[in-house]
Amino acid sequence: MKKRKKRRIANPLRFAVGIALIILILLICIVMIAAIAGCFDAPDPVAEAPAETPAPTAAPTSSPSPTPEPTWEEQRLSSIEHYVRAYGNCPDEAAVSARMATMAIDPQQKMVAFTFDDGPRTGITNQILDIAEEYGVRVTFFIKGDNIASHEEELMRMLSLGCEIGNHTWMHTNVEELSASEMRDEIGKVNDAIRDRFGYPIRLFRPPYIKYGDKGSDTRNTLVSLMEEWNMAIINHTRSTHDTYDSYNAERIYQRGVLETDELGKSLDGSIILCHDKQQKTVDAFKKIVPELLSRGYQFVTVSELLHYSDDGFHAGWIYSSAN
Ligand SMILES: [Zn+2]
């Protein structure tokens, strides 16, 4: 009896505990299934990321458009006019306009770039500039840095005539014999001196003796890196007038200067011609070369002008011997 009574009391308890266990197991199963299904995963960061910032709407058409960058030609003329006014000894606006009228370039017309190395030299460079001024033509001077201080007047006159100043090292040094740091110093000093004195950025380098290292050499690689760093190009030449040869008098220099096609088949149009402003015979030859080539329809332009209108254009670090 006792036993049975006890059993009666125990049965409902066991039943309740059993039900509770079943419910608990069911709950655990639900939680596990939900976990496996990913219901409790961390929120997807992409899905939770805020929506992208909407793109700004286009500026209203009524607002003023930004001033367009000046073109190369506008910058060229603006720079020349600056030096015409600064150093051109122009007494009035009419004189400025008359000087600026000689700076026009017709890209369709034949072009030639005469270059003069090693100056400025007293008594010679000014005669070249006299010819340039008389005919309204432009040439390029590859100067030696150690000439700058003693020839500022010639340099100012070059700029006021639209002529170009290029770099020919400070001491006329063969750059193949220089270390990288010496090369930086020997070329960089010329750029710095001209920029400091005249605010003029040199863009061209002509290596003395036309020596700039073989392709792949340390000299060439260093030089090209410097040119790229300084936004400059290396300028060789299409033809030399041989004006440093003893056997070349003014007549022979003139004949080389006006040859339509040289011995290598290179045409004068688009050529870079090598001369030196250090001897009278070169001046005498140039006096005849200019009117002769003008009569044949040539324009005398600077090397940078020639390269700008060439097929490739100007590129820092490039080596040019002509525009073709
Ligand atoms: Zn030289």
User: Nearest-5° angle of CA 256, CA 262, CA 263?
Assistant: 115
Asked if residue 143 is part of any domain, the answer here is yes
Residue 67, classed as helix, strand or coil, is coil
Asked, for residue 185, whether it belongs to a domain, the answer is yes
Strands (E), the chain: 111-117, 140-143, 164-167, 204-205, 233-235, 239-240, 271-276, 299-300, 319-320
* Residue 274 CA, ligand 1 centroid: distance in Å: 10
Q: Is residue 298 part of a domain?
A: yes
Under 8 Å between Cβ of 142 and 168:
yes
71 in Cβ contact with 147 (< 8 Å) = no
Query: How far is ligand 1, taken at its centre, from the CA of residue 102, in Å?
Result: 29
In a domain, 186, yes or no: yes
Q: CA 298 to CA 270: how far, in whole Å?
A: 10
Task: Tell me the per-residue pLDDT of 287-297, one tens digit each, with 9 for 90 and over.
Answer: 999 999 999 99
Nearest CA-CA partner of 304 in 279, 282, 272, 274: 272
Would the pLDDT of 83 be above 80? yes
Measured between its terminal Cα atoms, the distance across the chain in Å is 126
Residue 239 has pLDDT above 70, yes or no: yes
- Judged against a pLDDT cut of 90, whether residue 18 lies above it is answered with no
Report percent pLDDT > 70 for the chain.
81
Residue 9, pLDDT above cutoff 90? no
Q: How many degrees, rounded to 5, is the angle at CA 164 between CA 152 and CA 113?
A: 140
Q: How far is the CA of 208 from the centre of ligand 1 (A)?
A: 5
Residue identified by tokens 């088949």 is: 265
Confidence of residue 72 (pLDDT cuts 50, 70, 90): very high
- What whole-number distance in Å separates Cα of residue 290 and Cα of residue 296? 10
In b/e form, how buried is each residue of 266-296, taking b as 16+ CB within 10 angstroms? bebbbbbbbbbbbbebbbbbbbbbbeebeee
**Is the pLDDT score of 31 beyond 60?**
no
Model confidence at 19, pLDDT cuts 50, 70, 90, reads low
Tens digits of per-residue pLDDT, 113-133? Answer: 999 999 999 999 999 999 999
pLDDT band of residue 21 (cuts 50, 70, 90) is low
Check residue 37 and give its pLDDT: 44
The single-letter DSSP state of residue 147 is G
**Cα(206) to centroid of ligand 1, in Å?**
8
Radius of gyration for the chain, computed over Cα atoms and rounded to the nearest angstrom: 39
Looking at the domain assignment, is residue 158 inside a domain? yes
Q: In total, how many domains does the chain have?
A: 1
For the annotated catalytic residues, the residue numbers are: 117, 276
What does the pLDDT read at residue 154? 98
Amino acid at 116: F
Q: What is the mean pLDDT of the chain?
A: 87
Q: Are 207 and 175 in contact (CB under 8 A)?
A: yes
**Residue 289's domain is classified under what CATH number?**
3.20.20.370
Supply the angle between the helices 218-229 and 180-198 in degrees, to the nearest 10: 30
Residue 67 has a pLDDT of: 86
Q: Tell me the pLDDT band of 48, cut-offs 50, 70 and 90.
A: very low
Rounded mean pLDDT of 36-59? 42
Tokens of 252: 């022979």
Q: Report yes or no: 203 and 229 within 8 Å, Cβ to Cβ.
A: no
Confidence band of 78 (pLDDT split at 50, 70, 90): very high
Decide if pLDDT at 17 tops 60: no
Q: Per-residue pLDDT for 304 more than 70?
A: yes
Give me the pLDDT at residue 319, please: 98
Give the whole-number percent of the chain exceeding pLDDT 90: 79
**What is d(CA 103, CA 81) in angstroms, rounded to the nearest whole number?**
10
Rounded to the nearest angstrom, the distance between the alpha carbon of 228 and the centre of ligand 1 is: 22
How far is it, in rounded angstroms, from Cα 77 to Cα 103? 8
Above 80 in pLDDT, residue 40?
no
CA distance 75 to 265: 35
pLDDT at 66 (0 to 100)? 83
pLDDT of 12 reads 54
Predicted local distance difference test score (pLDDT) of residue 42? 38
In a domain, 258, yes or no: yes
Please state, in angstroms and rounded to a whole number, the distance separating the CA atoms of residues 317 and 11.
100
Between the CA of 207 and the centroid of ligand 1 the distance, in Å, is 8
Integer CA distances (angstroms), 285 to 112, 117, 127, 245, 280, in order: 16, 16, 12, 14, 9
* Structural domain boundaries, residue 206: 72-320
Mention every residue, 6+ apart, whose C-beta is less than 8 A from residue 151.
Answer: 119, 120, 121, 122, 125
Residue found by looking up tokens 């402003």 in the block = 277
Residue 38: inside a domain, yes or no? Answer: no
pLDDT attached to residue 22:
57
- CA 118 – ligand 1 centroid, Å: 5
Residue 101 in domain: yes
Structure tokens belonging to residue 253: 């220099």
Cα(264) to centroid of ligand 1, in Å? Answer: 23
Q: How confident is the model at residue 65 (pLDDT cuts 50, 70, 90)?
A: confident
Of the listed ranges 11-15, 17-21, 57-61, 174-178, the one predicted with least confidence: 57-61
Distance 78 CA to ligand 1 centre (A): 30
Write out pLDDT tens, residues 207-238. 999 999 999 999 999 999 999 999 999 999 99
- Strands 271-276, 239-240: pairing is parallel
Are the beta carbons of 302 and 164 closer than 8 angstroms?
A: yes
pLDDT tens per residue across span 156-177: 999 999 999 999 999 999 999 9
